[in-house]
Structure 1
């Protein structure tokens, strides 16, 4: 089955250091060069839903404490000035790839992971199941003129879901996946270009005793429940895809920030 995006080889890009500082320590920073390509595979996430929820709570408390600390320091050093409005607002950085022709914004505290198989890959350092990546097709194997080559947003959504399910195919006994397309839409961004947005939910279940003979001894349990968000764009005869992954419980808390990442995605002429 043909996938949306075909593998391709790229020349070694320039490397730009990535800041690991707090989301409240600096204003938005802009990068004009491309990060180095991934080299080693990312670690497998071992967090359960309970641990993820706990980690998100810790991160939020840390962000609040950081904002309060900045507010206090500002009041002490600049008593005549009001507390800055961005003290409790997440800070975003902009990633610009002038070599391959795309850009997007991402939370400043997210880190780059090398060797993830995508052109670029970032993830949350605390909730490891929350990440983003960008992939694009090779112009030598596909010639996309516009998003209409994929059909309507609904048709594109079905193709995106099929690709996800293919990637997550498992050979383990007793594993079952439930999937659902939540929304599909199209929009024209401020660059005048058309983008498709697709949101899907996928749940993974596994039997606690897959080798049991009797059906009543094989109890299915939920392994993970995730939201997948994809933004598609066409430029340079390529299909570009920004993909976000997050646990459903985390999505409910960080939906605003994740949608800001989606809306920031742009494809550029090279």
Structure 2
């Protein structure tokens, strides 16, 4: 079930409520605004009773006064053609994903989208609590990436090939993005991962595809990995 409301009468304080129950006293959470002059609060019920999601559709910019502060800088710029922006203001992050992908449940992750026909071609985001303040607190990028790919992302029967790693800074926050391949007896995959720390959370975005399609989709998926941002909450 989705709700779209014209901005002609929606005040800037329009909010949505998470699933805390009918009698909860939890404060309402902010809903983001569509770039097509509508407020979109799609809600999909599932066994895990996940919270409402925010999909910002279209290309262009919206007046900053209509937006909660954390999303203003993101939406002041144009979304790349053939992408949409996903902004989760309550959880403090955003990213772009291909416009023809659809949302789905990925176990243990906070949000996920996949290709309509190739389910192993997808993006997913998760976060865990941390007392670290910055990604540099984890260590140098080469050590962090090696440990993550070899000891967290790879299964015991998979061979690892780290192809590239990059560091960037955006709005005062630091990010590690790296490219890697995992090969098992039955199939091989390739992925980008972006990690960052903020809001007392350690965020991880992974976007990938089967290795045989990687050359065709690599640049498309790199846009997703590079678009990940942590928003102050």
Contact 1:102 1:267 in 2 (8 A): yes
Which whole-Å CA distance do the structure 2 matches of 1:224 and 1:246 have between them? 11
> Partner of 1:160 in structure 2?
148
> Partner of 2:119 in structure 1?
128
Instruction: Pick closer, same or farther for the CA change 1:238–1:232 going to 2, 3 Å.
Output: same
RMSD: 2.8
Deviation at 1:228, TM superposition (A): 2.0
Deviation at 1:200, TM superposition (A): 1.3
Q: Does 1:232 align with 2:232?
A: no
Instruction: Pick closer, same or farther for the CA change 1:35–1:117 going to 2, 3 Å.
Output: farther
Q: Which contiguous aligned blocks of 4+ residues in structure 1 show a shift greater than 4 angstroms?
A: 27-38
Q: Does 1:188 align with 2:169?
A: yes
Deviation at 1:38, TM superposition (A): 6.0
Instruction: Pick closer, same or farther for the CA change 1:225–1:126 going to 2, 3 Å.
Output: same
Contact 1:34 1:97 in 2 (8 A): no
Instruction: Pick closer, same or farther for the CA change 1:164–1:197 going to 2, 3 Å.
Output: same
> What are structure 1's unaligned runs of at least 5 residues?
1-10, 17-26, 41-88, 170-175, 206-222
- How many residues in Structure 1 have an aligned counterpart in Structure 2? 172
- Kindly name which structure, 1 or 2, has the bigger radius of gyration based on alpha carbons: 1
> Partner of 1:252 in structure 2?
215
Contact 2:106 2:124 in 1 (8 A): no
Structure 2 counterparts to residues 14-93 of structure 1, below 5 A = 39=47, 91-93=82-84
Instruction: Specify which of 139, 150, 153 is matched with residue 151 of structure 1.
Output: 139
